[in-house]
């Protein structure tokens, strides 16, 4: 029994089937030409996309920022190695050995980042302070300027008494500065 229902593609499929049955040689020739054309296109135009950015939408913010980063620094991938151990003394020799082995493989690993010299960062520490803290430091330096300039007499008992008298006379506790030559201890943050 033939089906009573028909879909939208039923009639076009019937016509194509009738043409294939009526002209079998032409169908084989056209099919062969299409297959050969597909092979030629695949050989000349088909490419593998191995970049991780090809998996993401080019319109996403993350992918856009990644492409900007890759343009600036190149497309090298980063590798982070984590070593765990019982204590720091047990881990350090392993990290040193691992870094040396990686450096011996420049074909696979470039720019091995192993140790950081923090002395260079300490000179830049003031850049990260808030303006209020910088003003506090500037005030302290102003109060100890005579000592910094070599006038050590400011540290004698008479200088200290004069400083205390000045502070008591001002009556403004928030503006009080430490006596010359005395360091301000930072308050612990909550």
pLDDT value of position 141: 85
| Placement of tokens 């009738």 in the chain | 18
Rounded to two decimals, the pTM is: 0.33
Cα dist from 31 to 20, 35, 43, whole Å: 11, 6, 18
Question: What is the arithmetic mean of pLDDT over 175-186?
Answer: 51
From the centroid of its chain, how far is CA 25?
63
Q: Which residues contact 148 (CB under 8 A, 6 or more apart)?
A: 141
pLDDT value of position 178: 56
pLDDT value of position 172: 57
Do the beta carbons of residue 181 and residue 155 sit within 8 Å? yes
| Placement of tokens 């049955």 in the chain | 21
**CA–CA dist 129, 119 (Å, integer):** 18
**% residues pLDDT > 70 (the chain):** 84
Domain range annotation of the chain: 10-44, 56-115, 126-175
Return the closest-CA partner of residue 107 out of 83, 76, 81.
76
pLDDT value of position 52: 67
* Residue 153 buriedness (CB in 10 A; 0-12 / 13-18 / 19+): exposed
pLDDT value of position 18: 94
pLDDT value of position 79: 79
Question: What is the arithmetic mean of pLDDT over 87-116?
Answer: 88
Return the closest-CA partner of residue 186 out of 103, 130, 147.
130
**CA–CA dist 151, 145 (Å, integer):** 9
pLDDT value of position 185: 47
**CA–CA dist 182, 170 (Å, integer):** 19
Instruction: Please report how many Cα atoms fall inside a 13 Å half-sphere around the Cα of residue 123, on the Cβ side.
Output: 3
pLDDT value of position 106: 86
For residue range 24-51, list pLDDT tens digits in order: 999 999 999 999 999 999 999 988 877 7
Return the closest-CA partner of residue 178 out of 134, 153, 131, 145.
145
**CA–CA dist 144, 139 (Å, integer):** 9
pLDDT value of position 75: 66
pLDDT band at 21 (very low <50, low <70, confident <90, very high): very high
The chain-wide mean pLDDT, for the chain, equals: 80
Q: Residues 137, 143, 144, CA angle at the centre, nearest 5°?
A: 90
Question: What is the arithmetic mean of pLDDT over 52-56?
Answer: 72
pLDDT band at 3 (very low <50, low <70, confident <90, very high): low
pLDDT band at 116 (very low <50, low <70, confident <90, very high): confident
């Amino acid at each position: 029994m033939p089906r009573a229902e028909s879909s939208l593609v039923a009639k076009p499929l019937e016509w194509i089937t009738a043409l294939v049955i009526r002209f079998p040689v032409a169908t084989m020739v056209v099919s062969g030409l299409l297959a050969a054309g597909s092979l030629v296109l695949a050989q000349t135009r088909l490419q593998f996309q191995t970049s991780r950015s090809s998996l993401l939408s080019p319109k996403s913010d993350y992918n856009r920022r990644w492409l900007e980063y890759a343009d600036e620094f190149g497309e090298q991938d980063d590798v982070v190695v984590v070593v765990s151990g019982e204590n720091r003394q047990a881990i350090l020799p392993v990290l040193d050995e691992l870094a040396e082995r990686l450096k011996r493989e420049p074909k696979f690993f470039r720019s091995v980042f192993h140790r950081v010299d923090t002395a260079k960062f300490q000179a830049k520490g003031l850049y990260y302070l808030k303006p209020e803290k910088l003003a506090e430091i500037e005030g302290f330096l102003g109060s100890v300027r005579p000592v910094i300039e070599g006038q050590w007499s400011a540290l004698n008992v008479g200088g200290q008494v004069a400083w205390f008298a000045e502070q008591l006379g001002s009556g403004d506790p928030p503006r009080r500065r430490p006596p010359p030559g005395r360091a301000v201890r930072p308050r612990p943050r909550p």
